[in-house]
Amino acid sequence: MDLNIVWFILITVLFTGFFILEGFDYGVGMMMLCRPKNERSQFVRAIGPVWDGNEVWMITAGGATFAAFPHVYATMFSTFYLALFLMLLALIMRGVAFELRGKLKYADWINFWDFGIMFGSFVPALLWGVAVVNLLRGLPINYQMHFTGHFFDLLNPCALLGGVFFVLLFAFHGANFLLIKIADEGLLEDLRRKSLRLGIAALIAYVLFACIAAVETDILAKLSTVIFLGLSIGALIAGCAGAYAGNGCKAFLSSTLGIAFLTVGFFNALFPRLMVSSLSPEWSLNIYNAASTPHTLGLMTIAAAVFVPIVLCYQAWTYKVFKERVTPADVQGH
């Protein structure tokens, strides 16, 4: 196995971790919609200690793409420039909201920053779905690896449905995370019902998306991809069953596996490509024509072997420290 494949696998792992961890962050943020202040405060407390650490996975995935496949990084950021700019604004607002929400006790102040958290969770979830689908569906990329289209090329029905699917999937995942973090039984019962509804809605969107994607992309061309996608659907069904039974741990583990199988299936369908050109298959960016030099990949592999385990251990320790459930008493006055 050459280093190009190794780094494709590593980037797959990083994006899988990102969608799992930041996915429930986004989901919890979206679950704050139309909730009373005390419940919103519990939701913020549930992800408060870990949300910024989860975002590191996105930064690391982007950095790894830049270092290992710089042509992909350049083409991708020019292609999704406006979408990424909107995502960045939403993430900035979300980060600021977490920090400033509790500085003043006025209701309007808290409501404003809670809206910032909701907005900063919904927009990235939607745009990530749109971006992921477009990478596989194909974009007008010419022989010079330049994007020749415009922003509205990204807003095709298939990609928009993928965005809606990601929103529902992350909301389902976030609801399941709250099932293992909230102590209030009354609130938990409501979250179980919401989780089940969101899970069913996500599965419906998944099926609709798969039907369109089967026509507009080659996502089902590989048997291995079909297996991964089948496993993800099975895991999401198990998550709905866990929510129905009131088993938060089963529901959260199942939605975690569902996202993991889905992400691996997507990258498996893409391999060895990284960005598909809709103009000509020969102009697609892949792990060889868009890669850094072997020397660079070798140095990066050594660095990753040293630092990735350290980051994983630190994040595991963080989750262990903040594993206790959140009670209404924990957020009194917030």
pLDDT of 99-133, one tens digit each?
A: 999 889 899 999 999 999 999 999 999 999 999 99
Read off the pLDDT band of 334 (50, 70, 90).
low
* Over residues 200-224, mean pLDDT: 94
Q: For residue 327, what pLDDT is reported?
A: 87
Q: What is the mean pLDDT of residues 4-10?
A: 96
Residue 333 above 60 pLDDT?
no
CA distance 158 to 136: 11
Region 166-179 average pLDDT: 98
Higher pLDDT, 123 or 154: 123
Mean pLDDT computed over 247-261: 97
**pTM for the full model?**
0.95
Lowest mean pLDDT among 45-49, 227-231, 328-332: 328-332
pLDDT of 175 higher than 70: yes
* pLDDT value of residue 109: 95
CA atoms of 301 and 7, how far apart (whole Å)? 8
